[in-house]
Structures are given as structure tokens and as C-alpha cells.
Chain A
């Protein structure tokens, strides 16, 4: 369903993805782990077509998207939901209008259907009663949940999450994890970028650890827990010393790469 083949990407003069190959099967939830600046968000941005690979191929829902043909991107994106780190809600629209925006712009539904769908997803993310609030009037966690509601409103076949639980209180994190699990049960294909190990082990069918621009380790949650790979164990336990720390010290600019801008217009 999602396939990245030998993807290379250089940003800010540094090779972020250096021959990354990864496959996500239909209905699978793949969690991507890795230190800051190792290309987790960059990988997600390639899958949604916000970044073009310097080299390599990306196939999503049977369509080759690495060449950025606008019609193909539009077609594919309509079938994908994406949760941004801070929700990325439009600040002048209230939550209901933000969530209903993709449906209204597609002009494929009546206003009554749109209202009903908005109410459903607001309820799913436990934001019913906040529909008329502006993004500036709610907390960061609520904004993230509203962003998730907007991603879900069009009933996507693929969901991509960029750090869905970062900065959330444990209860809000559980709500998000519960929703990911619910979508997993519904057979939605999901890619989750996270640093939250509890969340990763809870929702993942498989986990990929990115390191050096490639997939360093790939396996189920149990395989990860029992792995003898020092990099995997270092990441799980958050040890300061180890192969991941050494690489990071050698590349102090890695952290600045998270906010690289999109290339597509």
C-alpha cells in the first residue's frame, strides 16, 4: 500500500534519507522511531508528496507519487489523512469549520451530511461541546485532537501521524492511542512517527528504527523488545551512551532539520 524504494533526500546540505526502503502493508500500523533529525517527519512528508526524493521511488495506493504530478497527488491525498504535530488548524475558523473544510471544499456532500460528520468526529476525539471555539481558545492537546478529527472526517484509507502524543497529558495520549487502535481495527493503514515508546509498543504492528538515513531495524514490538541490537536497546531505554549518541554528537545540526519546508506548490 505504501512503498518507498531506495529514497535519497538531502536537506540543508545534509543527507537525511540515504537509500531508505520501507513497505507498509494494507491494514498495517507501522511506527517509525529515531532520534530527532533522523528523517522520520521527512519520510512522512515524502509519503504525502510534500517533499520530492532526490532519488528513489515512492508508491502510495498503487500510484507513483515521487514525480509530483498534480493530478495524481490530488487523487492520492484525498485518500490520506495527516495529523500534524500541532494540528495545523486554520486560526480564523472555529473547530467545526476547520474540521468540515475538506468536505466543503470537495463539494460532494450536503451541508446536513457535513454537519453530521463533523459532530461524529468531534465526538470520537472527545471534543463535542467545543465546536464553536477558535483554535486560539483551546489547549495544545485539544488542537491536536481537532487536527486528528479533521484528518478523519473524510474517512481516509491511510492515516499518517507526526508525533501524535507529543506534549499531551497521559489521558489525552490514551485518547489518541485509543483512536489509532480503533482505526487499526477498522483496517486503516497507518504510519506513526513518535518518540513515545509506550505509545509505539501499544499501537504498532511493526516498528522501524531510522538511523543514518536508512531503516536500521524493523520488527514487531516483541522483536524490538528482545533485540540484541545495541542501537535498538539504547533507543528503547534512552541511554545517553551508545551508537545513536555517537552519531548525533558527530552531527550537531541534525535537530534543525525537522522544520524543513515543503517543496510542492
Chain B
């Protein structure tokens, strides 16, 4: 990878991070709150609400964090990549690159692939932490679980394997979103309708792949 492509990748990292930061924070915060509220109320009936820390932390780090981040990035970045490359395809910009002997794969796809592979785990960690924060608030103010009790329970339950599983998933999801978005963009045919269809297909295919791969990754780590 040349220095120029690396710089393109880092520029895209910045764009993708800033473009998804707010929505990821809001979704993660409320997901953590919902998890804590639902789990906590059920546990409260059994008098076990002090275990809410582990449920929120393990769910968010291992499963929900990578999953919700991937869905957000699919909707916001993956569809955008498909639409951007699709528009370039129908306006002959991809052909122009080929004619200039510039490989569209190296010039357009590689920086997007590298950027999403780097950004997805970073946003996943961020989403996990914000989600746990949301869970702590609900646990403390609505379930009456102390800050320290939540923290201690979460830390006791979380293992290195949970973190590795979450990060591994996020990397796989990042590669998937970029690959599907770029492929659908480059396969665009027709005019504006074709661009819309490419963006829609990118979202649908990525969603399906993320769900299916998410299950198999969890299964392979758990067994």
C-alpha cells in the first residue's frame, strides 16, 4: 500500500468515525439502558438484580456492541459507499480511472476496506463502553444497584475471550460492510434507480451476512 493510499484510508477513517459517532453513541446508550432495564426487572423478581452488571457488560462487549455498530455502519457508511461508487460507475468515473491505468481496486476499494476494518473495532469498543454507561445509570437510578456493585459484577464476569470475540466480530463485520458496499457499487447499472438499488442491496446483503456470520463466530468461540 502506497503512502498516498494510506493517507486516503486515514482520511476515510476520520470521515467514517465522525459521521457515525453521534448515532453510535445514542444507539449504544439506549441499548445499554434497555438491556439493564429488561434484565434488571426480571432479576429483581428473583432478588438477583445485583447480577445486572454481568448481563449488560457481557452482552454488550460480546454480542450487542459489534452487532449494533455493524448495523449502524451498514446503514450509514456501507450504503453510502455503494451509492458513491455506483454514481461514479454511471458517470464513467470508474472507466476514466481504468483509462488512466489507475486500478479502481487499489484507488477506491482498498482505502475503504482498510478504513472500515480499522473504524469498526474502534466504534465497537466505544459503543460497548457507552452502552455499559447507560446500563449503570439505569441500574443505579431505577433498580437501586450501586455503582461499585455493578462495576465489580461486570469485571468479574467479563473475560479476555469476551473482548477477543467482540473485536474479532467487529473486524469481520467491517470487512464485510466494505466488501459488500464496494461490490454493489461497482455492479451498478442504469441511472439513478440503479444507484438506489445498489445502496439498498448493500444494506440488505450486509445485514444478512452480519447476522449469519455473527451466529457462527459466537458458535465457534463458545464451543
Contacts and interface: CB of A to CB of B under 8 A. Distances in A.
B92 A84 contact: yes
A221 interface: no
Contacts of A78: 101
B164 interface: no
A262 interface: yes
Of the listed residues B93, B95, B101, the one surrounded by the most CB atoms of chain A closer than 10 A to its CB is B101
Interface in B83-98: 88-96, 98
Nearest to A261: B189
A89 B98 CA distance: 13
Contact of B96 (A73, A88, A105): A88
Interface residues of B, number: 17
Given A84-B92, A261-B189, A48 B99 contact: yes
B91 A104 contact: no
A259 B90 CA distance: 8
A84 B95 contact: yes
A88 B93 contact: yes
Given A104-B4, A261-B189, A50 B99 contact: yes
Contacts of A90: 88, 93, 96
A264 B103 CA distance: 11
Interface in A73-94: 73-74, 77-78, 80, 82, 84-86, 88-91
Interface in A148-202: 150
Contacts of B90: 259
B217 interface: no
Contacts of B93: 88-91
Interface in A212-265: 259, 261-262, 264
A56 interface: no
A93 B37 CA distance: 49
B6 interface: no
Nearest to B99: A82
A102 B92 contact: no
A89 B100 CA distance: 12
Nearest to A80: B99
B26 interface: no
Nearest to A160: B99
B102 A102 contact: yes
A102 B98 CA distance: 11
Contacts of A22: none
A88 B98 CA distance: 12
**Do most interface residues of chain B lie in helix, strand or loop, or is the interface mixed?**
helix
Of the listed residues A48, A78, A80, A105, the one surrounded by the most CB atoms of chain B closer than 10 A to its CB is A105
A23 B88 CA distance: 32
Nearest to B92: A88
Contacts of A80: 99
A106 to B, nearest CB: 8
A101 B98 contact: no
A259 B92 CA distance: 9
A48 B4 CA distance: 27
A102 B100 contact: yes
Contacts of A106: 101
Contacts of B92: 84-86, 88
A139 B98 CA distance: 25
A232 to B, nearest CB: 30
Nearest to A147: B96
A100 to B, nearest CB: 11
Of the listed residues B98, B99, B102, the one surrounded by the most CB atoms of chain A closer than 10 A to its CB is B99
7 smallest CB-CB distances across A and B, nearest first, come from: A88-B96, A88-B92, A102-B100, A74-B101, A84-B92, A82-B99, A77-B101
Given A73-B101, A78-B101, 20 more contacts: A50-B95, A50-B98, A77-B98, A77-B99, A77-B100, A77-B101, A84-B95, A85-B92, A86-B91, A86-B92, A88-B92, A88-B93, A90-B88, A102-B102, A147-B96, A150-B96, A261-B89, A261-B189, A262-B94, A262-B98
27 contacts: A48-B99, A50-B98, A50-B99, A73-B101, A77-B101, A80-B99, A82-B96, A82-B99, A84-B96, A86-B92, A88-B95, A89-B96, A90-B88, A90-B93, A90-B96, A91-B88, A101-B100, A102-B100, A102-B102, A104-B4, A105-B100, A105-B101, A105-B102, A105-B107, A106-B101, A262-B95, A264-B98
Interface of B: 4, 88-96, 98-102, 107, 189
